[in-house]
Amino acid sequence: MKDALIGPGLVATRVLNAEGEVVAALSVVVASGSVDLRAVRPAVIASGLAVSRRLGWQPAVGVRKVREHGSGRRWPTARRISI
């Protein structure tokens, strides 16, 4: 999980399940210019890896390619969580 998306005020990374499928995303959003996002990026990636490992993902599994939308795949229902 070396990738992270960096945009204006945003850093995001993927979360994987035990089968290596992307099942969620983790992002940090800040006021534009308030933080150097390059400094935040490693912490966001590390957090995504930690959540993935808690879901059973291991580096040897890798990342499974997910079928395109419309393939009949059932997507999980989004749930709101409070932190």
Higher pLDDT, 8 or 80: 8
Number of H helices, E strands in the chain: 1, 3
The structural domains of the chain, with segments of one domain joined by +, span 5-61
Euclidean distance between CA atoms 20 and 42, whole angstroms: 21
Q: Would the pTM of this model clear 0.85, i.e. be above it?
A: no
Q: 21-35, pLDDT tens digit by residue?
A: 999 999 988 888 888
